[in-house]
Amino acid sequence: MVLLTRKIEFSASHLYHNPAFSPEENRRIFGKCNNPHGHGHNYTLEVTVAGEPDPVTGMVLDLKELKEILEREVMERMDHRFLNKEVPELAGKMPTCENIACVIWNLLEPEIRRGRLYRVRLYETPDLFVDCYRNRAGASNEGSS
């Protein structure tokens, strides 16, 4: 098995705000991400597909197709968007790096038909990233939390 990764970058803005918290609590818990008018991040997304190289093409999957999937499912939905309002998949969720990575996983997984989606890694800043795998924590060992 080999792992193939494609990396893309997109820019988007978000706002963390929980109406159940007081303004002070929101500021304390969410920091600058609670700025009332939102603020932006330059996200880096790494999508890893696992599979066997095709004996004829030598490729795990069609790289052009993967690029098109990322363009359609991620760039067109999220690039230069206000994530709270413009991405329906995030409606009602805090647009954290964690939740965005899960949404991206769910968008990509059904689209990848050769090989299988192995990992979604989303960087919010160069020194902060989230990894999403098929068996997410809690999915296979319910009750242990």
Nearest to 47 by CA among 92, 84, 10: 10
Question: C-alpha angle 114/115/120, rounded to 5°?
Answer: 115
Residue with structure tokens 């996200």?
43
By beta-carbon proximity to Zn ion, the closer residue of 33 and 104 is 33
Q: Which two tokens stand for residue 6?
A: 């494609």
Q: Which residues are catalytic?
A: 33, 80, 124
Q: For Zn ion, which residue has the nearest CB? A: 33
Cβ-based nearer residue to Zn ion, 70 or 96: 96
Nearer to Zn ion, 15 or 47 (CB): 15
- Which residues are at the interface with Zn ion (CB under 5 A)? 33
Shortest Å distance, C-beta 14 to Zn ion: 6
Please report which helix (H) or strand (E) contains residue 30, including its range: helix 23-30
Smallest distance, Zn ion to C-beta of residue 25, A: 17
Instruction: For residues 1 and 70, give the distance between their C-alpha atoms in angstroms, rounded to a whole number.
Output: 22
